Amino acid sequence: MSTVQIPEALDSLAIEVPSWAYGNSGTRFKVFGTPGTPRTVQEKLQDAAKVNELTGLAPSVALHIPWDKVEDYAALREYAEGLGVKLGTINSNTFQDDVYKFGSLTHSDESVRRRAIEHHLECIDIMDATGSRDLKIWLADGTNYPGQDDIRARQDRLAESLSEIYARLGDEQRLVLEYKFFEPAFYHTDVPDWGTSYAQTLALGEKAFVCLDTGHHAPGTNIEFIVAQLLRLGKLGSFDFNSRFYADDDLIVGAADPFQLFRIMVEVVRGGGLEPNSDVALMLDQCHNLEEKIPGQIRSVLNVQEMTLRALLLDRAALAEAQRNHDVLAANAVFMDAFYTDVRPALAAWRQERGLPADPMAAYAASGYQKLINDARVGGTQAGWGA
């Protein structure tokens, strides 16, 4: 029997899963097709609902437009809710059309910018129908060579474009601007870091926030410091959780560096990110190219839950005393004691108390769901990156 006492705050943990994680996606060299892969957004929602059914952690699903386009979004919302999940963040896409070769919201050609702006306005129309709160914008915009374009003018054009999109938001809707330090632009990216995203969203207003993708930083970046700073400034809107060894690898969160995930969740807890009035959205942004997709998502939300509980178990009183006394080793020991706590038995009991399987991974393997969808989803076009 576990002696770990689980704080009530863990009950508030909710992790949004991305629709595209259930399609064929992954490396930039080859995307492998797999049996049972969804052919429609409705089938993606079925798979996402299975993750929530087994874990109780994934009550909403992010959509990507145009990958998840349908004729009737109100009907899609009703379908999702019938499965026990909600439609969440709407992610825009201005990186796959040829017209965006030299940029979208920052493009020097006003007609291209207009097309990109109209796409985002369409996304907000979709949000109105789905009940979604957040519009997430990630831009591939940037340049490959010094002198290729006026980098200051591109910031001005970005601000102007975002301002028009922001003005269309409803009272309860938000804009979250993601950043990425490189790729596919290699000389400069128009939104390369949290400072640029912060500056742009600060100028927009109180409904604009920064989105932090844990894979979008240079090696060695102290991501938890960025988390702490953005929470301190009231501008951390959402996370895209994944894991990386080298760059934007989009691997299962916590796979490469579970200690980093723990440190990040320590700052989320410290900054009030799990409190009832928190507006910080936790979301996965991952690809499952080698592993099975549904178990990959189950493992991902469980990893976040485990590290969140360890962060909640941090003895903050003892830590604060050691810090006041400048006892470096004692403070670090308190920190490490929380990280090394084995919370898995306690979480298994926590799940059973709520009518969930103690081991969601094993429950999925025994459920027969994978064979069911493998047999049912024969024919048609499998969903994948860009479709």
Decide if pLDDT at 21 tops 50.
yes
Which pLDDT belongs to residue 44? Answer: 98
Could you write out the DSSP letters of every residue in 170-198?
Answer: -TT-EEEEE--SSSS-SSEESS-SHHHHH
Q: By the 8 A CB rule, do 230 and 224 touch?
A: no
CA distance 325 to 216: 36
Q: By the 8 A CB rule, do 155 and 170 touch?
A: no
CA distance 364 to 371: 11
Determine the average pLDDT of the residues in 3-7: 92
Which pLDDT belongs to residue 383? Answer: 92
Which pLDDT belongs to residue 28? Answer: 72
CA distance 22 to 45: 9
**Region at 308 (left for phi over 0; alpha for psi -120 to 50; beta for the rest):** alpha
| Per-residue model confidence as pLDDT tens digits over 356-383 | 999 999 999 999 999 999 999 999 999 9
Query: Quick one: DSSP state of residue 278?
Result: -
Which pLDDT belongs to residue 25? Answer: 87
| Per-residue model confidence as pLDDT tens digits over 57-104 | 999 999 999 999 999 999 999 999 999 999 999 999 999 999 999 999
Q: In the chain, count of helices (H) and strands (E)?
A: 13, 10
Q: Under 8 Å CB-to-CB from 166, ≥6 apart: which residues? A: 175, 204, 205, 207, 208
Decide if pLDDT at 385 tops 80.
no
Torsion of CA 212, 214, 217, 221, to 10 degrees: 100
Which pLDDT belongs to residue 344? Answer: 97
CA distance 197 to 216: 13
Q: Which two tokens stand for residue 166?
A: 């922001």
Q: pLDDT-derived band of residue 279, with 50, 70 and 90 as boundaries? A: very high
Q: How many CA atoms lie within 13 A of 96 on its CB side?
A: 10
| Per-residue model confidence as pLDDT tens digits over 130-179 | 999 999 999 999 999 999 999 999 999 999 999 999 999 999 999 999 99
| Per-residue model confidence as pLDDT tens digits over 325-342 | 999 999 999 999 999 999
Count other C-beta atoms under 10 Å from residue 233's C-beta.
11
Each domain of the chain, given as residue ranges in start order, spans 11-310+360-376
Q: Which two tokens stand for residue 332?
A: 């670090």
Count other C-beta atoms under 10 Å from residue 349's C-beta.
15
Torsion of CA 298, 277, 130, 40, to 10 degrees: -10
Determine the average pLDDT of the residues in 260-289: 96
CA distance 127 to 138: 17
Determine the average pLDDT of the residues in 95-116: 98
CA distance 308 to 134: 23
Q: What percent of the chain has pLDDT over 70?
A: 99
Which pLDDT belongs to residue 2? Answer: 54
Decide if pLDDT at 387 tops 70.
no
Residue 15: strand pairing partners: 282
User: How far is residue 200 from each of residues 36, 91, 120, 143, 230, measured CA to CA in Å?
Assistant: 42, 18, 17, 19, 14
Q: Please name the amino acid found at residue 77.
A: R
Residue 49 has phi, psi (to 5 degrees) of -65, -35
Which pLDDT belongs to residue 386? Answer: 64
Q: pLDDT-derived band of residue 1, with 50, 70 and 90 as boundaries? A: very low
Evaluate the CA torsion angle 298, 10, 359, 366 in order and state its sign: negative
Residue 136 has phi, psi (to 5 degrees) of -105, 130
Q: Which two tokens stand for residue 321?
A: 């005393």
Q: Greatest CA separation found in the chain?
A: 66
CA distance 204 to 192: 18
Which pLDDT belongs to residue 110? Answer: 98
CATH classification (class only), 11-310+360-376: alpha beta
